[in-house]
Amino acid sequence: MTDFVQLHILASYPPSNLNRDDLGRPKTAVMGGTDRLRVSSQSLKRAWRTSEFFWDAFSEHMGIRTKEMGVVIYTALTTGRKLSEVISGEEQTQPSREQISEEKSLEWAEKIAGVFGKPQSSTKKNPSSEKEGEDRSKELKKLKIEQLAHITPEEVAQIDSVLERLAAGNEDIDIKSEHLLQKQHTAVDVAMFGRMLADSPAYNIEAAVQVSHAITVHSAAVEDDYFTGVDDLNKGEEDVGAAHIGEFGFASGLFYIYVCINVDLLTKNLSGDDRLAKGAIRALVEAATKVSPTGKQNSFASRAYASYVLAEEGKQQPRSLSVAFLEGVEARDVMDESIKRLTMTRENIDRAYGDCSDSKYEMNAYTGKGSLEELLNFVSS
């Protein structure tokens, strides 16, 4: 049977705007008939997978999510640099192979990028595209694909091997037979959060990690911050008004976040590398407890660690404990009441359905119970 690790996290954020909607205001949702603050799962996952906890530990096992692989390939061909160097943004280095002409580079970059998605040039025709002397930036835009594609390190290496042969003068290459798309990989972020390739569904990867939208355990209202900027050189001799006037929304709250990790699927996605899977789980949990979305951080400095984490392990069907907060918490000590509700809900569900996990571990930074190191050892044991 499948082994699961589940995390129930409570994290408190002061006034902030972590994740904005289309109007620039904090995202919200209605739950239990009351308005709550919300941070989308996409925002959380991006903050975690781009955190130093992942990149320090798995720099060689991280994919790249982009529409611009064709542009990067073009740059590698025309400069004679390795593809990995261009992707990483390393400072300009000496060419390690022969440089390819711009026209040939455009042709091959479009062919290779097309393996990972439909080129924008196939659907977005530029009226001036047939004119001689077309601006190079317009040509490069054709190399972008329509949808974000998550590309693994193994695929990057395979692409670079093709570029190496092109630089050596071998143009007798059939891109379709080069196996640029690969099912076997060791990309931690792709294994965790999956990928979808609309034009090549056989290479889709099912996410091994599910993340809920973070929702406040209590009702919350978005407020408006009206602010002004003063010109330091304005001495008030003619105009004493503000040089800038602005307004944006903010709010604060205690958020509940639920994470479910399918350990067996994660290991399978990582080509059966159990050690890498355990390390990935540790990095994910550390990031989930320490890393905040970066929205408006310079304005609010709203970074926060998780105050409480309940981790569970077992082969039983996973379930969220969000029902604990269907009725918004109204108490002087919101954190204490939320922890009580969370643990009581878990116990009640266990009584009704039987034990929903084989073991659990609690880290309560609010009361000083447990430690992150013990939590990490538990989830990766």
Q: What are phi and psi of 164, to 5 degrees?
A: -60, -45
- Cβ atoms of 191 and 280 within 8 Å: the answer is yes
pLDDT of amino acid 129: 47
- The vertex-360 CA angle with 357 and 365, nearest 5°, equals 145
Helices (DSSP H) in the chain: which residue ranges? 41-49, 52-58, 69-79, 83-88, 102-113, 136-141, 153-167, 188-193, 263-269, 274-290, 297-300, 334-353, 372-379
Confidence (pLDDT) at 132: 44
* CA distance linking residue 39 with residue 79, whole number of Å: 41
Low-confidence ranges of the chain (pLDDT < 70): 91-92, 121-136
The confidence score (pLDDT) of residue 142 equals 83
- For position 133, what pLDDT does the model report? 45
Residues 6 or more apart whose Cβ sits within 8 Å of residue 47: 287, 291, 292, 293, 294
- Alpha-carbon span 87 to 83, nearest angstrom: 6
Looking at residue 16, its pLDDT comes to 95
Cα(356)–Cα(349) distance, integer angstroms:
8
Residue with tokens 């400069």: 79
Give the pLDDT confidence score for residue 122 in this predicted structure.
57
CA dist., res. 380 & res. 285, Å (int): 10
What are the tokens at 281? Answer: 């789980």
Q: Determine the pLDDT at residue 37.
A: 97
pLDDT of residue 244: 87
pLDDT reported for residue 96: 86
- Percent of the chain exceeding pLDDT 70 equals 95
What's the whole-model pTM score? 0.90
CB under 8 Å to 68, separation ≥6 — which residues? 143, 144
Give the per-residue pLDDT at 89.
80
pLDDT at 134: 55
- pLDDT of 246: 86
**Angstrom distance (rounded) from CA 75 to CA 105:** 8
What's residue 302's pLDDT? 92
